[in-house]
Each structure stands twice: as C-alpha cells, then as structure tokens.
Amino acid sequence: MPTISMTVNGKSVSAEVEARTLLVQYLRESLGLTGTHVGCDTSQCGACVVHVNGESLKSCTMLAAQAEGADVTTIEGLANGDELHPMQEAFRENHGLQCGFCTPGMVMSALDLVQKNADPSEREVREWLEGNLCRCTGYHNIVKSILAGAKALRG
C-alpha cells in the first residue's frame, strides 16, 4: 500500500492507504474530517468540494494519492476558533442552508469563486454554482449568502 503525505488544514498528515482510496474517503475515514460529504459519488452534486492547493475540487473524484504533497483545506479549516469565516457567517445570516448536507461544498466552492472574482454578479454566482446541488433551499438564499459573503470579504 502506498504511503501518502499532505497538509490538511495546516497540519502535516501521513498514512498508508490502499491505492484506490479516494481523497474524500481519506479525509472522512482516516482523518475523521466528516464535514466533507459524499452525496452522489460521481462529481455531480458538489457536497465533497475541498480546496487542493487553493483550487476547489471534488474530492470524491480524486484519489488520495493524487493529493500527495498538496495543501488541502476542508470546511473544518475555515473558522478561526469561535469566529466564523465571513462566508460561513454570511450563510448563517442569510438562511443559506436548511438540512446542511450540501453546505460545506457550497461554502468551499463560493470561496474559490470570490478569490477568482471578488465582486461577482448574481448571474456569475448562479453560473459558478452549476456543480453544486441543493434540494432544500431552491438556491435563492445560497446566492444571497455568497453575494453577502463576497461583500464582507471585500471589506
């Protein structure tokens, strides 16, 4: 079994895993970081989005071994102690979630959008969310949350 090493939420981690282990499996089962969810297994739903070297990626469609040496950030790595990240706070303020299952992927995906486009239009937010599905909210409040989060991050 190959040994893999990476940085997850600022901590160095290393483990022996089966070659077929997916990144999301490694995060959830080996590291116990269960905030990253598996909704569809097939890159459709986006509940598993994490950042790998600063880019949002679907961790259900990437082998853990492909993240060798990478810097990975999950939803657990965003808040600063008790203080929520502005994007998390924006979701909370704007009722951007109901059951919460898609939420980590939505937040991680939104953060990649605002680092590429600090002031997105509503349409740009909606287009960016093409790869993230939600079944509770109807998306309106998610879009509102992301626009508010982007505004807060611009300061």
Partner 1 sequence: MSETGIGVAIKRVEDLRFLTGNGHYTDDINQPDQSHAWILRSPHAHAKLNAVDTTKAESAPGVIAIFTGVDMAADGVGGLPCGWQIHNKDGSPMAEPGHPPLAVDKVRHVGDQIAIVIAETRDQARDAAELISVDYGILDAAINMDAALAGTTLVHDDVPNNRCFDWEIGDKDATDAAFGNADHVVSIDLANNRLIPNAMEPRAAISEFDRTTGRYTLYTTTQNPHVIRLLMGAFVLNIPEHKLRIVAPDVGGGFGSKIFHYAEEAILTWAAAKVHRPIKWTAERSESFVTDAHGRDHETHAELALDKDGKFLGLRRRDQGQCGALTSQPSARASRPISTRHFWRVCTRHRRFMPKCRPYSPTLSRWDAYRGAGRPECTYLLERLVSKAARDLGFDPVELRQKEHDSGRPVPLSDTGRAPVRLWGFPGDIRKRPKGIRL
User: Would you tell me which residues interact with partner 1 (CB under 8 A)?
Assistant: 18, 20, 28, 33-42, 44-45, 47, 74-76, 78-79, 84, 88, 91-93, 95, 97-104, 107, 133-136
Between 41 and 127, name the residue whose CB sits nearer to partner 1: 41
Measure the CA–CA gap between 61 and 22, rounded to whole angstroms.
7
Rounded least distance, CB 11 to partner 1, Å: 15
- How far apart, in Å, are the Cα atoms of 101 and each of 23, 136, 150? 18, 10, 22
Task: Give whichever of 136 and 153 is closer to partner 1, judged by the CB atom.
Answer: 136
Residue 25 C-beta: closest distance to partner 1, Å: 9
Q: How far is the CB of 85 from partner 1 (least distance, A)?
A: 9
**Listing from the earlier edge strand, what are the strands of the sheet with 49-52?**
11-16, 3-8, 71-73, 49-52, 55-58
Question: Which residue carries 């999950």 as its tokens?
Answer: 74
Q: Using the minimum distance from each CB to partner 1, give the nearer residue, 32 or 69.
A: 32
Q: CB of 28: closest distance to partner 1 in angstroms? A: 8
Give DSSP secondary structure letters for 10-25.
TEEEEEE--TT-BHHH
Give min distance, CB of 120 to partner 1, in A.
20
Question: How far, in Å, CA of 124 to CA of 18, rounded?
Answer: 39
Nearer to partner 1, 79 or 118 (CB): 79
Task: Provide the token pair at 52.
Answer: 């790998």
Q: What single-letter DSSP state applies at residue 108? A: H
Between residues 45 and 72, which has the closer beta carbon with respect to partner 1?
Answer: 45
